[in-house]
């Protein structure tokens, strides 16, 4: 099963090899927090920052996908509307009621941007 890092790469259509992505994820000492994921995303030239949202209801202003701190875990939010939030949590796609998500979400997110349009071999230099 894909870890949260591989899920982000897949959602963004970033070319990657499973073996390399999995190895760098598993070897990173901070893979289970936003700092560690930020470090890994930088290896793929993916822009990212962490944001603490003062009003959780502003979640609709974010573009999906984004990473979120949820119930002491990192989840990948793939869809959000007025009724539900769809997340990849513990390697499963879960649809959760919006209000339930908002209660367990810390308000901290890491929006992830699409990788540049340069060919893969040019991005590595």
Residues 6+ apart with CB under 8 A from 14: 44, 46, 115
Residue 44 falls within a domain, yes or no? yes
- 119 within domain boundaries: no
The pLDDT assigned to 23 comes to 97
Domain span at residue 101? 4-114
Residue 121 is assigned to a structural domain of this protein: no
**Count of alpha carbons within 13 angstroms of residue 2, beta-carbon side:** 17
From the first residue on, what is the mean pLDDT of each consecutive set of 10 residues in the chain (125 residues)?
A: 89 93 96 92 88 92 92 92 93 94 95 58 43
Q: How many domains does the chain have?
A: 1
For residue 82, give the CATH number of its domain.
Answer: 3.90.70.10
CB 16 within 8 A of CB 25: no
| Global pTM value | 0.81
């Amino acid at each position: 099963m894909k870890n949260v890092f591989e899920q982000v790469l897949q959602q963004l259509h970033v070319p990657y090899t499973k073996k390399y992505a999995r190895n760098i994820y598993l070897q990173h000492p901070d893979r289970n927090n936003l700092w560690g994921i930020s470090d890994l995303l930088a290896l793929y030239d993916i822009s990212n920052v962490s944001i603490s949202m003062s009003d959780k209801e502003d979640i609709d202003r974010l573009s999906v996908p984004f990473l979120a701190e949820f119930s002491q875990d990192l989840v990948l939010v793939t869809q959000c509307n007025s009724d539900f939030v769809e997340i990849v949590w513990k390697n499963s796609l879960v649809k959760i009621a919006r209000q339930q998500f908002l209660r367990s979400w810390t308000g901290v997110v890491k929006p992830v941007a699409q990788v540049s349009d340069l060919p893969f071999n040019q991005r590595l230099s």
